[in-house]
Chain A
């Protein structure tokens, strides 16, 4: 939609930037030549210079000029928009000139500072200003919308990450819905008794948190329930649940954000030939040992006798999975420490490849355990036949040993159903099948869909502390974004699809990373949900029939800009 005003009046303001622009560009030449250029013959053009537009006096001057001249469009030729685009946008906002009818041109870094020849620099500046002036005439007003939000949050998964998220967010004005597929809260934590020394050793804190969740009136708990559908966008997701037991539809409600905290499972060691074992043998996975400690208070053989020698094998399935699970070294040390306390004469053989001890307290724990007499053997290869271990120490020949018990540290992988959930949300999984962050470093607990978050072991292998911090991080983001009673302003530079031109090929739907495009089966056209679209423009570029327009970056605008710059 081009500007509807029939008579345009454009203000072009050139900043001298002290001597920075004025000395290297002949501003008077620009002022003299610009209005006489052919393309502006029928336009009302005001071209003026000013010593420093970004100064307070400069901003005031510009503000008065816009008001007095009743400009319909504004061009500011000055420094890099990275320095002062926001400055002049704010000037526009003060004067009621829609900021999308303004354009900034960089004649300092891109002309004055890099072209030694003044005449050439001036020539380039004219072309740039001409390009911007022609473009701005093709720009349209865009109006920011304010949307009501629901501050409520849906948390999927009743493990420690989900519990921490719920507790961090629930309050008088923010309801939390906690959905758990099993019949009790706690997740994998229910199998644990002992935590790491740096986590204070016992599970009291966790126990307390589970009790708090149950007591909190702002938290609604749904057990044996799963998510049936979630449709919407940040601030407004329509949720339907499903009762797993009777396969009946469950509750329906609206929330502003969703947090997936669906956790992990251990990789199936049965699928790895070198670690095959039968249930009758004395070979256990780490979770079986955790459970044993919780149930029996000690680590024992099937006979009930305490083992005299234990072999621990790290990195089970790591190569196959393609990542390090980062917590296994630590919990193996925890088991060794437990065994050492259980029996003074315990013989430990720990078969590892690399010790992964990324927390500041970990190495101290490792040394403590090692000094008590555990034998740590760095290996290049290991295989078991029951409790008979064949291993190759690094740089040495193959050896073998018989132990009473073998403990395996299988790789963590995303819990069953993660893939289906990702599909339901329309968010991508990473190469390693865990959920993928919107940006690995800068937005690590949110997905590509704004308002859908990922915390705990579904985000990647994580221990209790890391999971809880992630839960708090998601809560932090949600509580700054969804403030009860406040509205949100979605992006206005979004894409729009012109129905008449859309062939319904759905290429754009594959391209869109944000799930902002849906297909209207009745009209057989694609439709953009403006509340979800973030204006990246990828769909506009991909549309084979040119039916998609990225607002503020339309083909007409860009074409006009290029043509004026090069002709």
Chain B
């Protein structure tokens, strides 16, 4: 196959994986570039996904496996796109491919290398709620199930000390500390940008006490705390204390006012947390503090009604950013204004901040490399002249999923499929 028939997909989250698989199954060759050491994106951080509360791993793992085994897909992990030149049907792409130091072919994922590693680090993927070694997989069940080495902290690689512990522990000769970062050049016909999102930094709203009070969690921290493959194996215990919370306040719309948009998914995530909490801690009191309930799918209100039926308080707040959280004698006081404008305070053990979806940190650089525009909020912009499109201002480059704006899994997959329909027309004749 002509190299120009190859399609570059950036980001191995749900949208990028869906696009890659569809294209590969149609016989197209796909290069899937992912900045982390594992596939799955943010979806696999969820224990269950709304509204059907289907186990996310069970839903996504077969797709991850298909991606890794499909002969038409080349997965390049720890890699970022640095430069893109050319035009639709004929792009030349420069990729920054970081060394993994562990062979994807020879490693069988037995994990014997972790224990001997003398370096312990915070695990960012787990929202710093757990630790990892300098040779690590981000979580159990990572795919590919092959560790990577953090060159900044590995003693041998950062030159602080001579250490060969992992190499000696590996019985398959899969670790090669002499591996170098590479710059890879590839010719492709089309590019699908599926770089996903980051979460709003809750520390920016100081009155919510995030980072100050250990009982205040972000939504992503709670997702991991609840996850059976997470830092506590799914046990809901508070940071530090090791006790389960007896009362929890979930604050919606964190960052909405600052950012100027609604993320469209946080209400459903918050109700999901409500349900999780009620299920695992039946005696706990759960409050949802909301301003607008946003349920943009035919099935979401059914889910909301079910959650309401499970009990718990629903408290309306015109502006959640005005809420003040204070701590006294180990309890968190959530100070709000009730419907009639009177001050009210809730005593809780745990606060979950439903943070907004924000553009991925690398969006700006990537937009520049690709020669496409961002909107005023930092998400990728689709063609202005069109209504409902995944095309960007540059022909042959498409943007899908949360890279384009906040959205749920369904709409991310829809955009991925839409981009496939467009990308497949480039380079190869497909009935046109």
Chain A positions near chain B (C-beta within 8 angstroms): 17-20, 52, 54-55, 79, 82-83, 86, 151, 164, 168-169, 171-174, 195, 199-200, 205-206, 318, 322-324, 326, 354-364, 367, 394-396, 430-432, 434, 437, 440-445, 460-461, 464-470, 472-481, 483-484, 486
Q: Does B161 contact A (CB under 8 A)?
A: no
Asked whether A476 lies within 8 Å of B22 as measured between CB atoms, the reply is yes
Chain A nearest Cβ from B66, distance in angstroms: 9
Asked whether B297 lies within 8 Å of A472 as measured between CB atoms, the reply is no
Cα A190 to Cα B199 in complex, Å, equals 41
Closest to A467 in B: B388
Asked whether B413 lies within 8 Å of A476 as measured between CB atoms, the reply is no
Q: Please give, as numbers and ranges, the residues of chain A lying within 8 Å of B379 by CB-CB distance.
A: 360
Asked whether A476 lies within 8 Å of B296 as measured between CB atoms, the reply is no
Chain A nearest Cβ from B276, distance in angstroms: 18
Cα A359 to Cα B377 in complex, Å, equals 12
Asked whether B390 lies within 8 Å of A472 as measured between CB atoms, the reply is yes
Cα A363 to Cα B377 in complex, Å, equals 12
Closest 4 CB pairs of A and B: A395-B339, A476-B421, A468-B388, A358-B264
Most buried by A among B296, B302, B379, B420: B296
Which of the segments B234-242, B277-285, B287-295, B360-368 contacts the partner chain?
Answer: B287-295
Asked whether B415 lies within 8 Å of A473 as measured between CB atoms, the reply is yes
Closest to B25 in A: A480
Cα A410 to Cα B284 in complex, Å, equals 38
With contacts A356-B294, A359-B405 taken as known, whether A445 is within 8 angstroms of B305 at the C-beta atoms is: no
Which of the segments B88-96, B124-132, B214-222, B424-432 contacts the partner chain?
Answer: B424-432
Could you give, for residues 393-432 of chain B, a 1 whenever the CB lies within 8 Å of some chain A CB and a 0 otherwise? 0000000000001111111011111111110110000111
Asked whether A473 lies within 8 Å of B421 as measured between CB atoms, the reply is yes
Q: Please give, as numbers and ranges, the residues of chain A lying within 8 Å of B389 by CB-CB distance.
A: 468-469, 472
Asked whether A171 lies within 8 Å of B261 as measured between CB atoms, the reply is no
Asked whether A323 lies within 8 Å of B108 as measured between CB atoms, the reply is no
Q: Please give, as numbers and ranges, the residues of chain B lying within 8 Å of A470 by CB-CB distance.
A: 414
Q: Which of B25, B340, B413 contacts A441 (CB 8 A)?
A: B413
Residues of chain B at interface, number, CB under 8 A: 76
Closest to B375 in A: A360
Q: Please give, as numbers and ranges, the residues of chain B lying within 8 Å of A199 by CB-CB distance.
A: 387-388
Could you give, for residues 38-57 of chain B, a 1 whenever the CB lies within 8 Å of some chain A CB and a 0 otherwise? 00000000000101101000
With contacts A357-B294, A358-B264, A364-B261 taken as known, whether A444 is within 8 angstroms of B410 at the C-beta atoms is: yes
Most buried by A among B26, B61, B300, B338: B26
Closest to B290 in A: A354
Asked whether B108 lies within 8 Å of A358 as measured between CB atoms, the reply is no
Q: Please give, as numbers and ranges, the residues of chain B lying within 8 Å of A171 by CB-CB distance.
A: 430-432
Q: Please give, as numbers and ranges, the residues of chain B lying within 8 Å of A18 by CB-CB distance.
A: 108, 110, 171-172
Cα A172 to Cα B431 in complex, Å, equals 6
Q: Please give, as numbers and ranges, the residues of chain A lying within 8 Å of B329 by CB-CB distance.
A: none
Asked whether B69 lies within 8 Å of A86 as measured between CB atoms, the reply is yes
Q: Does B65 contact A (CB under 8 A)?
A: yes
Cα A200 to Cα B386 in complex, Å, equals 8
Of residues 107 through 142 on chain B, the ones whose CB sits less than 8 Å from some CB of chain A are 108-110
Q: Does B59 contact A (CB under 8 A)?
A: yes
Chain B nearest Cβ from A151, distance in angstroms: 6
Asked whether B260 lies within 8 Å of A469 as measured between CB atoms, the reply is no
Q: Please give, as numbers and ranges, the residues of chain B lying within 8 Å of A356 by CB-CB distance.
A: 292, 294-296
In addition to A326-B295, A355-B292, 9 A-B residue pairs with Cβ atoms within 8 Å of each other are: A52-B172, A55-B106, A79-B108, A83-B109, A171-B431, A323-B300, A360-B379, A460-B299, A476-B419
Cα A395 to Cα B256 in complex, Å, equals 24
Asked whether B387 lies within 8 Å of A360 as measured between CB atoms, the reply is no
Chain B nearest Cβ from A265, distance in angstroms: 15
Cα A19 to Cα B111 in complex, Å, equals 12
Q: Please give, as numbers and ranges, the residues of chain B lying within 8 Å of A437 by CB-CB distance.
A: 410
Q: Does B193 contact A (CB under 8 A)?
A: no
Closest to B420 in A: A476
Q: Please give, as numbers and ranges, the residues of chain B lying within 8 Å of A151 by CB-CB distance.
A: 431
Asked whether B405 lies within 8 Å of A483 as measured between CB atoms, the reply is no
Asked whether A477 lies within 8 Å of B295 as measured between CB atoms, the reply is no
Asked whether B431 lies within 8 Å of A205 as measured between CB atoms, the reply is no
Cα A164 to Cα B418 in complex, Å, equals 11
Asked whether B22 lies within 8 Å of A480 as measured between CB atoms, the reply is yes
Most buried by A among B52, B298, B338: B298
Chain B nearest Cβ from A58, distance in angstroms: 11
Cα A359 to Cα B61 in complex, Å, equals 29
Cα A444 to Cα B421 in complex, Å, equals 15
Cα A442 to Cα B52 in complex, Å, equals 12
Q: Does B152 contact A (CB under 8 A)?
A: no
Chain B nearest Cβ from A401, distance in angstroms: 21
Chain A nearest Cβ from B339, distance in angstroms: 3
Q: Does B23 contact A (CB under 8 A)?
A: yes
Q: Which of B27, B339, B411, B418 contacts A476 (CB 8 A)?
A: B418
Cα A441 to Cα B52 in complex, Å, equals 10
Asked whether A444 lies within 8 Å of B22 as measured between CB atoms, the reply is no
Cα A246 to Cα B78 in complex, Å, equals 64
Most buried by B among A200, A318, A440, A478: A440
With contacts A465-B388, A468-B389 taken as known, whether A362 is within 8 angstroms of B262 at the C-beta atoms is: yes
Q: Please give, as numbers and ranges, the residues of chain B lying within 8 Å of A55 by CB-CB distance.
A: 106
With contacts A354-B293, A359-B264, A432-B299 taken as known, whether A441 is within 8 angstroms of B108 at the C-beta atoms is: no
With contacts A363-B260, A432-B302 taken as known, whether A326 is within 8 angstroms of B296 at the C-beta atoms is: yes
Could you give, for residues 246-265 of chain B, a 1 whenever the CB lies within 8 Å of some chain A CB and a 0 otherwise? 00000000001000111010
Asked whether A479 lies within 8 Å of B261 as measured between CB atoms, the reply is no
Q: Please give, as numbers and ranges, the residues of chain B lying within 8 Å of A440 by CB-CB distance.
A: 51-52, 299, 410
With contacts A18-B172, A479-B26, A480-B420 taken as known, whether A432 is within 8 angstroms of B298 at the C-beta atoms is: yes
Asked whether B388 lies within 8 Å of A469 as measured between CB atoms, the reply is yes
Q: Does B301 contact A (CB under 8 A)?
A: yes
Most buried by A among B384, B409, B410: B410
With contacts A200-B385, A205-B386, A480-B424 taken as known, whether A364 is within 8 angstroms of B414 at the C-beta atoms is: no
24 contacting pairs across A/B (C-beta < 8 A): A17-B108, A171-B432, A318-B301, A322-B301, A324-B301, A326-B296, A355-B294, A356-B294, A362-B262, A363-B262, A395-B316, A437-B410, A441-B14, A441-B49, A444-B413, A464-B388, A468-B387, A468-B388, A472-B390, A472-B422, A473-B415, A473-B421, A474-B417, A479-B430
Q: Please give, as numbers and ranges, the residues of chain B lying within 8 Å of A358 by CB-CB distance.
A: 262, 264, 294, 296, 406-407
Cα A266 to Cα B22 in complex, Å, equals 36
Most buried by B among A164, A168, A171, A354: A354
Asked whether B385 lies within 8 Å of A168 as measured between CB atoms, the reply is no
Q: Which of B63, B172, B298, B431 contacts A323 (CB 8 A)?
A: B298
Asked whether B297 lies within 8 Å of A460 as measured between CB atoms, the reply is yes
Chain A nearest Cβ from B139, distance in angstroms: 16
Q: Please give, as numbers and ranges, the residues of chain B lying within 8 Å of A476 by CB-CB distance.
A: 22, 417-422, 424
Cα A475 to Cα B264 in complex, Å, equals 26
Chain A nearest Cβ from B62, distance in angstroms: 8
